[in-house]
Amino acid sequence: MTTSDEVDFERVTVSDLSRFYGRRRALSHVTLECRAGEIIGLLGPNGAGKSTLLSVLATLAEPSTGEVRYGRWTARDGGANLRARIGFLSHDLQLYPELSACENLEFFAGLYGLDRPEARAHAALMTAGLEDRADDVVEGFSRGMRQRLALERTLLHTPRLVLFDEPFTGLDEASCGALVDRLRALRADGHIVVIATHDLDMVDGVLDREVLLRSGRLRSLDYEGTLRDRYRLGVATPPGAVKRSREAHDPVDGVEAEPLV
């Protein structure tokens, strides 16, 4: 019998991961390593497989081939204790609109077995700047307010691995700035942060490393310039013509280079 404290990890290793939906291939031979105290940007056009990769990392979907290791654990042998170390803010916010902000947080605090759920919920509402709306039902919240609340729900149990899918959606400038500060604080606290986003200007300078997913394949953005320039080059460059600093199949900063076609 393990406890969630025992199932802790300092790195997540994705090895030759593929994921199929029927005959459609969403992820193809993805290899990636994420370390504690690191923010990794998962970039790519729509339908590239970013959300699928986040779902697999969150243990919500199983790989078709390959594996994900959380330290020495896999999703199967880590089970519920491993899930206690993962926080996932998906594009859909996983909130109950009929419940108040406080009730939503208390419910999830209860599910995570946190002690003093009321106090935790109150502290999270303070951080989200929603303490004066604590008893209002979420249905009446703006998208930005829901996003802030969902962010606090994700971090309520101080997960080791934090997965964000488009976390800047609906946030105003001040909230975006607060989120960027929060990301930096998570890095400083030794969390592993993986963030899928199209808001390149927002995360430029925040990310420690960025990888590009395109048609389910992963590649590093090994170019010069701003994040937006590198992203454009990465998307425009056809498969097989990726500039590489090492031999094919050797990990480049934890990303397996795309094999030559």
Using CB under 8 A as the criterion, which residues of the chain lie in contact with other proteins when the complex forms? Answer: 4, 55, 58-62, 80-84, 86, 88, 90, 92-99, 103, 107-108, 110-113, 137, 153
Please count the helices (runs of H) and the strands (runs of E) in the chain.
Answer: 8, 12
Joined together, the tokens standing for residue 214 give 């395109």
CA distance 67 to 79: 15
Smallest distance, other proteins to C-beta of residue 74, A: 13
As measured in angstroms, the least distance from the Cβ of 57 to other proteins is 11
Q: Which is nearer to other proteins, 74 or 237 (CB)?
A: 74
User: Of 110 and 259, which CB lies nearer to other proteins in the complex structure?
Assistant: 110
> What tokens appear for 98 in the block?
């009929």
We find the least distance from the C-beta atom of residue 153 to other proteins, in angstroms, to be 7
Whichever of 5 and 247 has its CB closer to other proteins, that residue is 5
CA 93 to chain centre: 13
Cα-trace Rg, the chain? 19
Nearer to other proteins, 103 or 199 (CB): 103
| Closer Cβ to other proteins, 34 or 156, answer by number | 156
Asked if 120 contacts 156 with a C-beta cutoff of 8 angstroms, the reply is yes
Distance CA 159, CA 193 (A): 10
CB of residue 140 to other proteins, shortest distance in Å: 12
- The nearest distance, CB 155 to other proteins, in angstroms, is 13
The bridge status of strand 73-74 relative to strand 65-70 is antiparallel
Kindly report the CA angle at 49 between 45 and 4, in degrees rounded to 5?
Answer: 130
